[in-house]
A and B are shown apart, each in its own frame.
Chain A
Amino acid sequence: AQSVTQPDIHITVSEGASLELRCNYSYGATPYLFWYVQSPGQGLQLLLKYFSGDTLVQGIKGFEAEFKRSQSSFNLRKPSVHWSDAAEYFCAVGNNAGNMLTFGGGTRLMVKP
């Protein structure tokens, strides 16, 4: 069975600082990996996704993620955080059939001015 772990429940960073959110997955085959962001009271918005090819994936809003098969990780990064990045971030792994996403528990990001 597929599973996703986001070890950090809460993270606080200063505006302008760099950010890395951790994601570890368990999946028997080549994983399909996603990062979503959820602003307060909103639905989820896709930041980026990885299917194959280049292991460094660029997304919207200046985010990127790196797939590391040896570490079963797909960490999300941003070089300089803005106050508007405060939100909850979810990592997810998808199955080969394309119809089942398994989400991690989420990481809530707070940004200090």
Chain B
Amino acid sequence: NAGVTQTPKFRVLKTGQSMTLLCAQDMNHEYMYWYRQDPGMGLRLIHYSVGEGTTAKGEVPDGYNVSRLKKQNFLLGLESAAPSQTSVYFCASSSPDSIQETQYFGPGTRLLVL
């Protein structure tokens, strides 16, 4: 039981390049989330999904797209990377079985945009 995994662990991009971050969970959770973590700002929600085939915007969605084609996977895409997107990205998942179920976090992806 791996929990929540993220690939890659680290990536360097040049401005304007694109990339996709992959999040996978093996807990059969309905809900999945993408956050970014910046110093002094905690974690901010980028996008989330409440089920396969559904996505919704969070607090800071601009410049990102997401897809949830399979229940266990949640992809975060950057179409044209900008230096402001240098951050650590965390994926999380949770079950809606009871209100405010715990969110389980992946180990993070560190992204540097030059």
Task: Report how far A103 CA is from B92 CA in the complex, Å.
Answer: 14
Interface residues of A in 71-113 (CB under 8 A from B): 90, 92, 94, 96, 98-106
Tally of contacts, chain A with chain B, CB under 8 A = 60
A43 close to B106 (CB less than 8 A): yes
Task: Report how far A99 CA is from B92 CA in the complex, Å.
Answer: 11
> A47 to nearest B CB, angstroms?
11
Interface residues of B in 37-77 (CB under 8 A from A): 40-45, 48, 50, 58-59
> A73 to nearest B CB, angstroms?
17
Residue on B with the closest CB to A1? B59
> A38 to nearest B CB, angstroms?
9
B50 close to A105 (CB less than 8 A): no
Task: Report how far A99 CA is from B33 CA in the complex, Å.
Answer: 9
Shortest 4 CB-CB contacts between residues of A and residues of B:
A103-B42, A43-B105, A44-B105, A32-B100
